[in-house]
Amino acid sequence: MNNACFTYSQQLMGTTVSLQLLTENLQAVAAVFNTIEALEALLTVNREHSEVMNINHAAGKHPVTVSDLVFDLIMQAKQASLLPNSIFNLAIGPLVKLWKIGFSGHTVPDSQSISEKLALTDPRLIVLNKQNNSVYLPKTGMEIDLGAIAKGYIADIIKLVLVQYDIHHAIINCGGNVLTIGSSPLSPNKYWKVGLKKPFASATSLLGIIRVQDKSVVTSGIYERYFIQNNHLYHHIINPATGFPLDNELESITIISENSLTGDIFSTILYGLGIKKGREELNKRTSIGAIFVTKDKQIILQNDQHFQFQLLDKNYQLHKSV
Ligand code: AMP
Ligand code: MG
């Protein structure tokens, strides 16, 4: 067994992106990081200009024609927003910008500002025209935010880039989104190892190890971006029904799926559903696996035919859902 492993990292998409390859291929590495940079420049809402920002700037004025990739992601994001009981909402932008959670100037907004912004977050109003790839936000102040899913979409494209370079065994970590490609020749059982982070602990403290092959592992958690005011924790997953961060029994949810976009969409949706409804949903969607981590230190595995889990932190109790 050849244990060589080449790791490359760059600061992109507001996080450290790291790529592990088993053979040195600097052309492939450059192609991966250039692709991420180019896609981030199309999709970000944290800069003044991007294709998504062009749409947002034209809200209430006119439709904006975007590239195939951006149109495709927005179309999928709209579909995910319209699923029954979905808290995922691509039109959440005005509330994300109001709260500024994870950015300087974060604040608990007054209730009037929340209701004003809530009126601008109806995903059904977004007009998509496939004939000319145009997107129209009919009310001034509406804003698309793809922050919950851009990394997953980009990770899936990176897999295609690597395959073009004949790379069939690799792992890419976009901070919260890990995509494993093929099997791992590095371990005897050929599984890639992905750490499950301990909520609110240092980045290297793990609750356990997830073992997968050729799968995406995506986590959404309330400890990723948050602030505390008057003893209340305000985190970055907003309930589109209330305009406030959505609180339930969960600290994090990890989705194991074929592709990373699906993982990203369902980590948000299943976080919103919580354990009881989330389990019902997962019984219908057997192609995705999930790991729920609760505030009272329970770890619940569901559809675990898609992964293996090894508990490391004995303060947590492990359960298998049936
Ligand atoms: P993630 O880290 O993938 O769980 O995504 C969190 C990010 O998604 C936030 O920082 C916001 O940009 C965005 N977001 C927050 N609430 C929602 C929501 N209800 N639907 C879609 N995106 C959201
Ligand atoms: Mg996500």
pLDDT of 111 above 50: yes
Q: What confidence score (pLDDT) does residue 3 get? A: 60
The residue-averaged pLDDT of 78-85 equals 97
Q: What confidence score (pLDDT) does residue 1 get? A: 45
- As for ligand 1, residues whose beta carbon falls within 6 Å of it are 87-89, 92, 96, 145, 147-148, 176, 220, 224-225, 236-238, 240, 264, 267-268
Residue 224 CA, ligand 1 centroid: distance in Å: 11
Please state, for a pLDDT cut of 90, what percent of the chain lies above it.
Answer: 93
Nearest CA to ligand 1 atom 12: 147
Residue 265 CA, ligand 1 centroid: distance in Å: 10
- Cβ pair 81, 91 in contact under 8 A: yes
Residue (of 295, 185, 45) closest to 54 by Cα position:
45
CA-CA distance, 262 to 266, in Å (whole number)? 6
Q: What are the structural domains, with CATH classification, of the chain? A: 50-136 (1.10.3980.10)
Q: What confidence score (pLDDT) does residue 322 get? A: 64
Q: Which atom of ligand 1 is nearest to the CA of 89?
A: 20
- 173-185 pLDDT, tens digit per residue, is 998 899 999 999 8
For residue 287, how many other CB atoms are within 10 A of its CB? Answer: 11
Query: How much is the pTM?
Result: 0.96
**Residue 23 burial (CB < 10 Å; 0-12/13-18/19+)?**
middle
Ligand nearest to the CA of 216: 2
Bridge pairing between strands 317-320 and 308-311:
unpaired
For residue 300, what is the DSSP state? E
pLDDT of 61 above 50: yes
Nearest CA to ligand 1 atom 7: 148
Please report which confidence band the pLDDT of residue 103 belongs to, taking 50, 70 and 90 as the band edges: confident
